[in-house]
Amino acid sequence: MGNRAAAERRRRLLHNPGGFERLHRRCKDVFPQQIEGVKLVINKDLSQHFQVSIQQVSHSSNPPRDRDSTGLDTG
């Protein structure tokens, strides 16, 4: 009886999940990858000699900025 109780107790005990680095890596895999920023470029030819270009750049550390074809900041 003593061996059966000890075996049952061992079965109910939780196993060691591993080191902190291993747990951190497994938890990190659950979350989506973060991106550094986004750049949107729109070019439109209005005629043979006239073109409009708009760029918008957004980074996680900087607020969004708009830049038109003249190079002036609009935001």
Contacts of 33 (CB under 8 A, 6+ apart): none
Per-residue pLDDT at 17 = 72
pLDDT-derived band of residue 64, with 50, 70 and 90 as boundaries? low
The mean pLDDT of 48-72, rounded to a whole number, is 73
Domain residue spans of the chain: 2-67
pTM for this one?
0.35
More confident call, 12 vs 47: 47
